[in-house]
């Protein structure tokens, strides 16, 4: 088969959609500060408010004012945890409950609060990566300040039962936050149905620009700014508006909403083809994550007897871009904390690859990957001293 270039790392980031890129470039001419009172400033501001409405529509928020623009998922998550720091220092509730499979920006924010003396519980997940609801129920109580559970996992794609999680969180009287960075634009997201007080989004995961994201904050939920300064975003996030980033986010959100149903069916079909092809091509390979409650684009597979970095580099030589885990964890030799939490042993976790598909993926891409993976794993297994 002829060499191809296949990008299957859409969970790390997505390409900028051409139509979004074109509008952003055109908008670079609009240099006015969106906080300026003159006509040009007001025009820039009006575009920002249109984008806010677009993002709100994508997540089912009826009031666009509840969406705050940030620099991305990491900042949105940290803003929520910093808010809890301020609340917990003053109020009676201090307990933080989260899971073992969160993105490092939640895990490390939670660890920071633990260092500051907050009681923090990391709840287990089951073998498929779904939070153990029985443990969650035991972990929350009248002292719980925040329950933070990611909607879908970036490494294995497992989607949580958000309604059940939310019910438990809210019954305890705690605030409920969800990192929906990997969910928005890939599955139906509805802040009201999920009952979130806070929800994190990031634009570069939905074919928009990097460095722009959002935080949904329910009416009445408190918020402390992480960045203090001017009055932008009602004083919750200071700094001159990122006009073009916000415009790109709004456009990407509109397109994602319009295309979501088609995306779910088409990309889900490609994922099934990839999964079946890999399982047939590579003996003893096994799929990680939930068989049913999983992102349509994410497939995580363990290849016993082969090492993840070696697989990744061999695939790279064939023009295939995949990942061994989250982009933030790659480069570290630690096995994936997500796979470990699902009970995958360290050796198998080291031999696991995340394939994440996206809008530009095709059947030909999938078939190319299937054709290459068998010989690559067979070669690496021959060189390996590990029995499997």
Ligand X SMILES: Cc1ncc(COP(=O)(O)O)c(C=O)c1O
Write down the least CB distance from residue 337 to ligand X, Å: 13
Query: Among residues 99 and 182, whose Cβ is nearest to ligand X?
Result: 182
Query: Among residues 87 and 329, whose Cβ is nearest to ligand X?
Result: 329
Q: How many residues does the chain have?
A: 388
Catalytic residue among 328, 364, 383, 386: 328
Write down the least CB distance from residue 243 to ligand X, Å: 18
- Find the helix or strand (DSSP H, E) in which 39 lies: helix 39-58
Query: Among residues 10 and 368, whose Cβ is nearest to ligand X?
Result: 10
Count the Cβ atoms, other than its own, within 10 Å of residue 175.
Answer: 23
What pairing do the DSSP bridges indicate for beta strands 352-356 and 298-302?
antiparallel
Write down the least CB distance from residue 295 to ligand X, Å: 11
Write down the least CB distance from residue 271 to ligand X, Å: 18
- Residue 281 has φ and ψ, to the nearest 5°, of -80, -25
Residue 15 CA to residue 209 CA, distance in Å, equals 8
Query: Among residues 295 and 373, whose Cβ is nearest to ligand X?
Result: 295
At a CB cut-off of 8 Å and minimum separation 6, what does 235 contact? 225
Tokens 């700014």 belong to 225
Distances (CA, A) of 77 to 37, 108, 109, 200, 261: 32, 10, 8, 6, 28
Write down the least CB distance from residue 177 to ligand X, Å: 12
Query: What 3-state class would DSSP assign to 99?
Result: strand
**Known catalytic residue at 203:** no
Residue 75 CA to residue 55 CA, distance in Å, equals 17
Tokens 């460095």 belong to 211
Tokens 């040009």 belong to 40
**Angle, CA of 112, 332 and 106, to the nearest 5°:** 30
Query: Among residues 97 and 306, whose Cβ is nearest to ligand X?
Result: 97
Write down the least CB distance from residue 9 to ligand X, Å: 11
Question: What would the two tokens of residue 41 be?
Answer: 């400033």
Rg (CA), the chain: 21
Residue 269 CA to residue 266 CA, distance in Å, equals 5
- Find the helix or strand (DSSP H, E) in which 254 lies: helix 243-281
Query: Among residues 212 and 282, whose Cβ is nearest to ligand X?
Result: 212
Enumerate binding residues for ligand X (CB under 6 A).
72-74, 103, 105, 150, 154, 179, 181-182, 202, 204, 213, 326-327
Residues annotated as catalytic are 328
């Amino acid at each position: 088969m002829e060499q191809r270039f296949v990008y299957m790392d859409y969970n790390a980031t997505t390409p900028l959609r051409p139509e979004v890129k074109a509008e952003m470039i055109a908008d670079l001419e609009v240099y006015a500060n969106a906080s300026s009172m003159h006509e040009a400033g007001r025009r820039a501001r009006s575009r920002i408010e249109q984008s806010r409405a677009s993002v709100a529509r994508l997540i089912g928020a009826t009031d666009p004012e509840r969406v705050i623009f940030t620099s991305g998922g990491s900042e949105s998550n940290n803003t929520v945890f910093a808010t809890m720091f301020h609340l917990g220092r003053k109020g009676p509730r201090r307990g933080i409950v989260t899971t073992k499979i969160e993105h490092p920006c939640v895990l490390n924010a939670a660890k920071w609060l633990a260092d500051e003396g907050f009681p923090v519980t990391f709840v287990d997940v089951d073998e498929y990566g779904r939070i153990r609801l029985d443990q969650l129920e035991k972990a929350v109580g009248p002292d719980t300040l925040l329950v933070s559970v990611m909607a879908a996992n970036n490494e294995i794609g497992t989607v949580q039962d958000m309604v059940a999680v939310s019910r438990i969180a809210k019954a305890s009287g705690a605030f409920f936050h969800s990192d929906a960075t990997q969910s928005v634009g890939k599955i139906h997201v509805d802040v009201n149905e999920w009952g979130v007080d806070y929800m994190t989004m990031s634009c570069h995961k939905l074919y928009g620009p990097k460095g722009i994201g959002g935080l949904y904050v329910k009416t009445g939920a408190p918020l402390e700014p992480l960045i203090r300064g001017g009055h932008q975003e009602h004083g919750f996030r200071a700094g001159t508006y990122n006009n073009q980033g916000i415009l790109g986010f709004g456009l990407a959100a509109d397109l994602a909403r319009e295309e979501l149903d088609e995306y779910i069916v088409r990309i889900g079909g490609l994922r099934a083809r990839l999964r079946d092809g890999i399982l047939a091509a590579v003996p003893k390979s096994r799929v990680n994550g939930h068989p049913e409650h999983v992102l349509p684009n994410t497939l995580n597979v363990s290849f016993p007897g082969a090492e993840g970095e070696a697989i990744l580099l061999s695939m790279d030589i064939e023009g295939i871009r995949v990942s061994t885990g989250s982009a933030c964890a790659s480069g570290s030799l630690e096995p994936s904390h997500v796979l470990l939490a699902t009970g995958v042993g360290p050796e198998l976790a080291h031999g696991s690859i995340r394939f994440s598909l996206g809008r530009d993926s095709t059947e030909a891409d999938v078939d190319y990957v299937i054709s290459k993976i068998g010989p690559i794993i067979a070669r690496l297994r021959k060189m390996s001293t590990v029995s499997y």
